[in-house]
Chains A and B, each alone.
Chain A
Amino acid sequence: MPALNQLLDKGAIAAAHRPCPRAVVEAAVWRNAAGRLASGRLTLLDLWGERDAAHMALRDAQTGETGVLSILCPAGRYPSVSARHPPALRLERALRDLYGLTPEGLPDPRPWLDHGRWGDAAPEPYPFLTAEGDNLHQIAVGPVHAGIIEPGHFRFTASGETVVRLEARLGYTHKGVEALAEGADIDAAARLADGVSGDSTVAYALAFARATEAALGVDAPPRAVWLRALMAELERLANHVSDIGAISNDAAFPLLHAHGGILREQVLRACDAAFGHRMMRGLIRPGGVTADLAPDGVAALRALLETAARRFPAMARAYDATPSLLDRTVGAGFLKPELARQYAAGGFVGRASGRGFDARLAMAYAPYDSLSFTVPTRDDGDVHARIWVRILEVEQTLALIGQILDRLPEGGIFAAPPAPDAPCEGLAVVEGFRGDVLAWVRLGADGRVARLRLRDPSWFQWPLLEAAIEGNIVADFPLCNKSFNCSYSGCDL
């Protein structure tokens, strides 16, 4: 019998959780699930909670089925999952900081999002993990960095130029998204989802909309479903082309940075012409989309496809035919495939280290179930592999945009979702440019959001960056970091 079903069968199935089941289980079953995560039989999609319960979204590695396990915590305690399965560690630390639930047996008791600055008391110093050896020194970087990027602190322990240990400390951009969503109406919650991670605003809005529609048991009109996919692919395209250039820039090769920036701007201008917003923010809502393609939108997007088909292959060739650039990217920041598997790393980080998961295929949500595309993977796991996966993904995305434009159905773009007659819950996983974004929502009988959870792919990628950088030189950190391009705001919430 499939592992996940076995666990779900041992619990009390929650009413109105869609599209997959949620079961409230005893501590023994919860621990059993942690063991199966550790053995790789189950994959951790997320771990979150509320004042009196903790939840785990799981995927059966063999059957591909998903489900949610919940454990009630009347005494504010539950058995730690990270005690058996380290990828849950920061999720459990964050859950404790925000909702006060204590994971029993938590291997790392330090706070995560709580920097000791939410109250009046002076903050305690944060004890970074140590490294032992001769002639080691520490380098502290951040939270304010030299570039135009998000804030976070990186603590390097180095032996000469070589990184012995890196530890990231995040949480600087914690804005209280989940607390704000409690009691919010659907529109206000959607605006919060838009603002979780600015480069993935389409992916988050889509995840929230799909989770809410699942909870209410409704579907968006077909044209809206296709327009959403169009926006998601345009967002992927804009991020991939500029990042390929930006990674090269961190290897002191600004030519590609300039070309990536030019192409990105062309994508944004086409999005603006098509939908009225350069980043397509605020356009996806539960029930559909709020803006249809402008009359000349299709022409603008077709022109973009032509431009990209001309410009992008030249970029890819320039990358692959420049030995001095390859000298920096090949072999740098190697991520072991077994770590990518253990952490269920999504996106190009996972796919460059042999983990082929892509929610568009694995969850086969519309319209991807009727589109033709492949998910490129590699096994070499270095900066070079992550760049190449993104190059190949750009090619797939350009083809997908063409297919969507060819087959875009006619009809309405929005159908106001009905008010629920009882509390209901929904879960959705969608593929953003960075990897799989998970949204879980509980609506109250009043139609307002009772609890909203949004999980960024970077939760399972940030820890891997720390592993991948080990043994590289400090000067290669920007290169390796950019090749992961994890979200700060998406994880800080």
Chain B
Amino acid sequence: MRSLLLQGLLRKPVTDAAPAPGDAALEELAQALGRTARRRLGRSLSIREVDAGSCNGCELEIHALGGAWYDIDRFGLRFVASPRHADVLMVTGPVTKNMREALLRTHAATPDPKWVVAVGDCALDGGCFKGSPAICGGVDAVLPVDLHIPGCPPRPIEMIRGLLALLERAA
């Protein structure tokens, strides 16, 4: 373990940085997101993730946001454990009938001002599960949605881009 720690100290971080010409997307986006978050909210932005019936694919990519490559914490964006600490609810999946009430309660527990970001193709209109009697539909069938990030699942970079768009719109 000591060698791992030592390497961690001596090696450069893996975090996508140093925007090479033509491949500046992540760094640019993330820095802009940090600036906007500070301007609009005057502080960091706290995100609560809710799986309302997804296949877990979106969750895997949302996980990646917090990892070393994307490291959204460095821009003041962080995932929180309780909706009571959150500014943003990031909701994945079609909303199943079995999850509808839990989602509504989570939303009710989130203090204002709050935004809802629907993540993934299922969260738009049910995706490949559209038409099933076991689902309510997309997230907007249950909650007012401020932004939808498409993809199956969306790439982490697209989620960062989406959060930026949200901050541009939310005044």
Chains A and B bind each other: yes
Chain A residues with Cβ under 8 A from B132's Cβ?
Answer: 175-177, 179-180
A192 touches B55 (CB 8 A): no
* B18 adjacent to chain A (CB < 8 Å): no
The stretch that binds A, out of B31-39, B90-98, B142-150, B163-171, is B90-98
Instruction: State how many angstroms separate the Cβ of A260 from the closest Cβ of chain B.
Output: 9
Chain B residues with Cβ under 8 A from A317's Cβ?
Answer: 1
B134 touches A265 (CB 8 A): no
Given contacts A151-B51, A279-B60, contact A258 B152 (CB under 8 A): no
Given contacts A117-B97, A175-B134, contact A147 B81 (CB under 8 A): yes
A144 touches B56 (CB 8 A): no
B97 touches A255 (CB 8 A): no
Given contacts A172-B96, A262-B67, A265-B64, contact A198 B56 (CB under 8 A): yes
Q: For window 85-143 of chain A, which residues contact chain B by CB distance below 8 Å?
A: 113, 115, 117-118, 143
B50 touches A144 (CB 8 A): yes
Residue of B50, B67, B102 touching A265 (CB-CB under 8 A)? B67
Complex Cα distance, B5 from A172, in Å, reads: 41
Complex Cα distance, B8 from A426, in Å, reads: 51
Q: For window 382-397 of chain A, which residues contact chain B by CB distance below 8 Å?
A: none
Chain B residues with Cβ under 8 A from A416's Cβ?
Answer: none
* A173 adjacent to chain B (CB < 8 Å): yes
Closest to A319 in B: B1
A150 touches B134 (CB 8 A): no
Given contacts A198-B60, A265-B64, contact A255 B5 (CB under 8 A): yes
Given contacts A143-B99, A151-B102, contact A262 B68 (CB under 8 A): yes
* A281 adjacent to chain B (CB < 8 Å): yes
Instruction: State how many angstroms separate the Cβ of A84 from the closest Cβ of chain B.
Output: 30
Instruction: State how many angstroms separate the Cβ of B48 from the closest Cβ of chain A.
Output: 9
B54 touches A265 (CB 8 A): no
B96 touches A198 (CB 8 A): no
A258 touches B55 (CB 8 A): no
Complex Cα distance, B11 from A399, in Å, reads: 28
Q: For window 280-329 of chain A, which residues contact chain B by CB distance below 8 Å?
A: 281-282, 314-315, 317-318, 321-322
Complex Cα distance, B9 from A255, in Å, reads: 12
Chain A residues with Cβ under 8 A from B42's Cβ?
Answer: none
A198 touches B57 (CB 8 A): yes
Chain B residues with Cβ under 8 A from A55's Cβ?
Answer: none
A196 touches B55 (CB 8 A): yes
Complex Cα distance, B54 from A151, in Å, reads: 9
Chain B residues with Cβ under 8 A from A118's Cβ?
Answer: 97, 133-134
Complex Cα distance, B55 from A87, in Å, reads: 24
A173, A259, A492 — most chain B CB neighbours (10 Å): A173
Residue of B93, B133, B152 touching A281 (CB-CB under 8 A)? B152
B128 touches A146 (CB 8 A): no
Given contacts A117-B101, A179-B132, A262-B14, contact A172 B67 (CB under 8 A): no
Instruction: State how many angstroms separate the Cβ of B46 from the closest Cβ of chain A.
Output: 13
Closest to B134 in A: A176
A174, A282, A315 — most chain B CB neighbours (10 Å): A174
B54 touches A172 (CB 8 A): no
Instruction: State how many angstroms separate the Cβ of A386 from the closest Cβ of chain B.
Output: 19
* A70 adjacent to chain B (CB < 8 Å): no
Residue of A148, A176, A201 touching B129 (CB-CB under 8 A)? A176
Given contacts A143-B99, A198-B60, A255-B5, contact A261 B129 (CB under 8 A): no
* A341 adjacent to chain B (CB < 8 Å): no
Interface size for B (C-beta < 8 A) is: 54
Given contacts A172-B53, A175-B53, A278-B155, contact A192 B68 (CB under 8 A): no
B5, B54, B100, B134 — most chain A CB neighbours (10 Å): B134
Complex Cα distance, B53 from A177, in Å, reads: 12
B64 touches A173 (CB 8 A): no
B67 touches A173 (CB 8 A): no
A143 touches B56 (CB 8 A): no
A314 touches B56 (CB 8 A): no
Residue of A115, A195, A197, A279 touching B127 (CB-CB under 8 A)? A195
B81 touches A261 (CB 8 A): no
B55 touches A198 (CB 8 A): yes
Chain B residues with Cβ under 8 A from A440's Cβ?
Answer: none
Instruction: State how many angstroms separate the Cβ of B9 from the closest Cβ of chain A.
Output: 12
Closest to A269 in B: B69
Complex Cα distance, B54 from A490, in Å, reads: 10
Chain A residues with Cβ under 8 A from B153's Cβ?
Answer: 198, 279
* A199 adjacent to chain B (CB < 8 Å): yes
Complex Cα distance, B31 from A311, in Å, reads: 30
Complex Cα distance, B58 from A197, in Å, reads: 11
* A477 adjacent to chain B (CB < 8 Å): no
Chain A residues with Cβ under 8 A from B82's Cβ?
Answer: 146
A197 touches B99 (CB 8 A): no
B3, B82, B96, B155 — most chain A CB neighbours (10 Å): B96
* B20 adjacent to chain A (CB < 8 Å): no
Residue of A113, A151, A192, A268 touching B128 (CB-CB under 8 A)? A192
A318 touches B1 (CB 8 A): yes
Complex Cα distance, B79 from A83, in Å, reads: 45
Query: Can you name 29 A-B residue pairings with CB atoms under 8 Å?
Result: A115-B98, A144-B102, A144-B103, A148-B49, A150-B59, A151-B51, A151-B52, A173-B54, A174-B96, A175-B129, A176-B129, A176-B134, A176-B135, A179-B133, A192-B129, A194-B128, A195-B127, A198-B58, A199-B56, A255-B1, A255-B4, A258-B67, A261-B68, A262-B14, A262-B68, A264-B64, A279-B153, A318-B1, A489-B53
Seen from chain A, the residues whose Cβ lies within 8 Å of a Cβ on chain B are 113, 115, 117-118, 143-144, 146-151, 171-177, 179-180, 188, 191-192, 194-199, 201, 242, 255, 258-259, 261-262, 264-265, 268, 278-279, 281-282, 314-315, 317-318, 321-322, 487-489, 492
Besides the contacts A198-B58, A262-B67, what 20 more A-B pairs have beta carbons closer than 8 Å?
A117-B97, A117-B101, A118-B134, A143-B102, A144-B102, A146-B82, A148-B51, A172-B99, A173-B93, A173-B98, A175-B129, A176-B132, A177-B129, A180-B128, A180-B131, A261-B68, A262-B68, A281-B57, A317-B1, A318-B4
